Amino acid sequence: MSIIAKKELFIKRVYEIVNELKIPLIDERVYHKVKVSSSGSSCIVYFRFEEDESVIRGFLGLAEYFHSVVIKKKDEFYIPHSRTLFILEAK
């Protein structure tokens, strides 16, 4: 499977689980421009999806737990919370 097809499958699966868990997601269809900055964060936590769906569920579980939104920018997803930034990316 090509890298592009894997990323498309990754993004599709994130959207499916977001809808299932009813977590608010902000993506390119909604915002005009987004800049995610880690400069104000005291901690950045990276999640890397490599085939195991539990990584996606764990990441989105944080948004559910913190009552936060998920922000999509290109092929990455972000959860901002207090001074922590959670980032989900596909390998």
**pLDDT (tens digit per residue) in 2-13:** 777 888 999 999
**What is the CB neighbour count within 10 angstroms for residue 67?**
9
pTM, 2 dp = 0.91
Picking from 40, 81, 48, 83, the residue whose alpha carbon sits closest to that of residue 63 is 81
| Distances 6 to 2, 14, 25, 50 between C-alpha atoms, Å | 6, 12, 21, 9
**What is the CB neighbour count within 10 angstroms for residue 86?**
23
pLDDT-above-70 percentage for the chain: 99
Q: What pLDDT score does 81 carry?
A: 93
